[in-house]
């Protein structure tokens, strides 16, 4: 007895690679191929080329975002093309544009890369003991009416 035929197609290798280069995660791939995430996981086991394409592309996308975040945090200059009217004609002109450092990008970078120094989380260490039972007994004793 054979199972139902697979929806997998060899052209999914290149499609998955392209999608992952553009930031897709497994749930996005499954949606695009109209399968469940568990089916996508099965395809990774059954089709080594499919798995390899995903494994190569995802880190490239992550690195691109990291690089962009770093540039944004530090500020950067970029050459861009702009349309200008010169002598009555529309002309493409290269201009150098400066993008100043971005505080939010800096904070995000530092909280993730240097979390020991930049975390919002504060840890409090308690030394000694808390003797709750003794405190309750003392409070009861002090609150009890005095006996004559």
pLDDT in tens, 78-126: 999 999 999 999 999 999 999 999 999 999 888 888 888 888 777 777 7
- The 10s digit of each residue's pLDDT in 2-34 is 678 889 999 999 999 999 999 999 999 999 999
Residue 36 pLDDT > 80, yes or no?
yes
Report yes or no on whether pTM surpasses 0.75.
no
Query: Is residue 80 packed enough to be buried (19+ CB in 10 Å), middle (13-18) or exposed (0-12)?
Result: exposed
- The 10s digit of each residue's pLDDT in 126-140 is 776 667 777 788 888
User: Mean per-residue pLDDT for 48-65?
Assistant: 95
User: Mean per-residue pLDDT for 29-58?
Assistant: 96
What DSSP assignment string belongs to 44-75?
A: HHH-HHHHHHHHHHHHHHHHHHHHHHHHHHH-
- The 10s digit of each residue's pLDDT in 71-80 is 999 999 999 9
Alpha carbon distance 145, 148 (integer Å)? 10
Domain residue extents for the chain: 12-116
DSSP three-state, residue 91:
strand
Quick one: which of 45, 53, 44, 51 has its CA closest to 14? 53
């Amino acid at each position: 007895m054979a199972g139902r035929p697979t929806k997998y197609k060899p052209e999914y290798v290149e499609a998955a690679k392209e999608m992952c280069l553009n930031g897709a995660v497994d749930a996005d791939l499954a949606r695009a191929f109209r399968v469940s995430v568990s089916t996508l996981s099965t395809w990774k086991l059954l089709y080594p080329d499919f798995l390899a394409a995903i494994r190569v592309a995802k880190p490239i996308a992550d690195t691109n975002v990291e690089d962009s975040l770093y540039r944004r945090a530090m500020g950067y200059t970029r050459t861009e093309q702009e349309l200008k009217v010169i002598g009555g004609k529309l002309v493409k002109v290269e201009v150098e544009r400066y993008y100043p450092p971005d505080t939010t990008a800096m904070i995000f970078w530092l909280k993730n890369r240097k979390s020991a120094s930049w975390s919002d989380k504060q840890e409090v260490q308690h030394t000694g003991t808390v003797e709750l039972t003794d405190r309750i007994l003392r409070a009861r004793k002090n609150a009890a009416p005095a006996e004559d």
